[in-house]
Amino acid sequence: MNTQLGVIEGFYGEPWSWGERADYAGFLKKHGFSFYIYAPKADGYMRKKWREPFPKTLEEKLTKLSSQCHSAGIEFGVGFSPYEIYLSPFDLEVKKLLQNRVDAFNRIGVDKFGILMDDMKGDLPGLAERQIEVVNWIAARSKAKQFVFCPTYYSLDPVLEKLFGKMPEGYFERLGTELDKKVSMFWTGEQVCSKAYSEEHLRSTAQKLGRKPLLWDNYPVNDGPRMCKFLHLRPMTGRPPEIGNWLAGHAVNPMNQAALSKIVLLTLRAGYEAGAAYNPDKAFRKAAGMVTCHEMALQLERDLPAFMDKGLDVLTGEEKESLKADYAVFLESRENDTGKAAREVIDWLSGRYNVTKDLFLTQ
């Protein structure tokens, strides 16, 4: 399997801790993944505060994380969103501010540079031309090995036009012909959260974008006001390994729950390795046992309907308390990530990870 697999921490709501990120470096390398990209929406200095000076403490933490990833043998990346930079002229003042960020990322040691213009206003004349100018300018000044642009319209899902305005005519065609060929492009599929990917769709997308897309896989992410009410723990399906022929890479956007996300990631890896012989149920049991322990794996499998079908709004108070008690017995376990995963289940049941609509919009 030659497809580059990795993780992009690109969700809304509560981000991972620095300790969890450092732990992921070793986990990803051990299980055949090759990159981690730092892009939490909650980090304003990577998004809406991009014009402000980059905090020294944040640069130090990212430099350390970059070093930890490199020591583990995986690539380190950032997802940088110069929020609505294209709404004003790309003049010397804006370029100076942007150069400050590029310089910081060069010092940190960024291998993959994600330039993200998703979840921003899009119904503007000359949108593609404005974005191309910014992206090509960054690519010419960064020391990163790979550049990945996330367009404002990163899927065929009609919800994007409802939220960010009608896509300008010829948007993809302009990007495909004028964006520097060394720049890859993120794509989430036919939907923002696609349940499956077909080779036919990805082939046509590659033609449309003028390059193979780098898949931004929005499963098992659970960050929105609606999705945060569920734990997306069922194994990956609908991602046959042959889609790798039409990808520049496969990046998974995980859940706010770092330990539990490992289970789903391992099933994706299993699917790529097994091909047509992939058995999702067996892959889940094996992955859950590797991340937690045999007993907790069985309990997680039993509770999948509660976590993924019912969710917090349907589970009764009594059911939530019963589930908390069931997982509390694992809190002190030091076997693998059993204790951490149990804490995440209990905290989720307690509403810790709830994302409000206001938070969703402000980040």
pLDDT of residue 2: 82
Q: Cis bond leading into 220, ω under 30°?
A: yes
Does residue 113 sit in helix, strand or coil? Answer: strand
pLDDT of residue 147: 98
Angle between helices 317-328 and 294-302 (to 10 degrees): 170
| Residue 309 phi, psi (nearest 5) | -100, -45
pLDDT of residue 360: 53
The residue-averaged pLDDT of 20-40 equals 98
The predicted-structure confidence for 217-240, as pLDDT tens digits, reads as follows 999 999 989 999 999 999 999 999
The residue-averaged pLDDT of 67-77 equals 98
The residue-averaged pLDDT of 317-337 equals 98
Thinking of the domain 5-278, which architecture would CATH place it in?
Answer: Alpha-Beta Barrel (3.20)
Does residue 37 sit in helix, strand or coil? Answer: strand
The pLDDT-based confidence of 271 (bands split at 50, 70, 90) is very high
Q: How far apart are CA 65 and CA 69, in angstroms?
A: 6
pLDDT of residue 1: 60
Nearby residues of 344 by Cβ (< 8 Å), 6 or more positions away? 257, 258, 259, 260
Report residue 39 as tokens: 């892009």
The predicted-structure confidence for 137-158, as pLDDT tens digits, reads as follows 999 999 999 999 999 999 999 9
Report residue 116 as tokens: 């993200």
Residue 357 has pLDDT above 90, yes or no: no
Gyration radius (Cα) of the chain, Å? 20
Q: How far apart are CA 54 and CA 143, in angstroms?
A: 18
The pLDDT-based confidence of 164 (bands split at 50, 70, 90) is very high
Residue 283 has pLDDT above 60, yes or no: yes
359 or 280: whose pLDDT is higher? Answer: 280
| Residue 8 phi, psi (nearest 5) | -120, 115
pLDDT of residue 350: 97
Residue 102 CB neighbour total at 10 angstroms: 21
Residue 294 has pLDDT above 80, yes or no: yes
The predicted-structure confidence for 87-109, as pLDDT tens digits, reads as follows 999 999 999 999 999 999 999 99
Nearby residues of 209 by Cβ (< 8 Å), 6 or more positions away? 172, 175, 176, 185, 187
The residue-averaged pLDDT of 159-174 equals 96
- In percent, the amount of the chain with pLDDT more than 90 equals 96
Residue 120 has pLDDT above 60, yes or no: yes
Is the separation of the CB atoms in 152 and 86 below 8 Å? Answer: no
Longest dimension (CA), the chain: 60
Distances (CA, A) of 341 to 43, 262, 271, 335: 24, 10, 23, 11
Residue 31 has pLDDT above 90, yes or no: yes
The residue-averaged pLDDT of 243-258 equals 97
Residue 96 CB neighbour total at 10 angstroms: 9
Q: How far apart are CA 221 and CA 224, in angstroms?
A: 9
Among the listed residues 122, 114, 119, the one whose alpha carbon sits nearest the alpha carbon of residue 148 = 114
| Every domain of the chain and the residues it spans | 5-278, 282-357
- In percent, the amount of the chain with pLDDT more than 70 equals 98
The pLDDT-based confidence of 358 (bands split at 50, 70, 90) is low
Is the separation of the CB atoms in 13 and 40 below 8 Å? Answer: no
Residue 318 has pLDDT above 80, yes or no: yes
Nearby residues of 18 by Cβ (< 8 Å), 6 or more positions away? 61, 64, 65
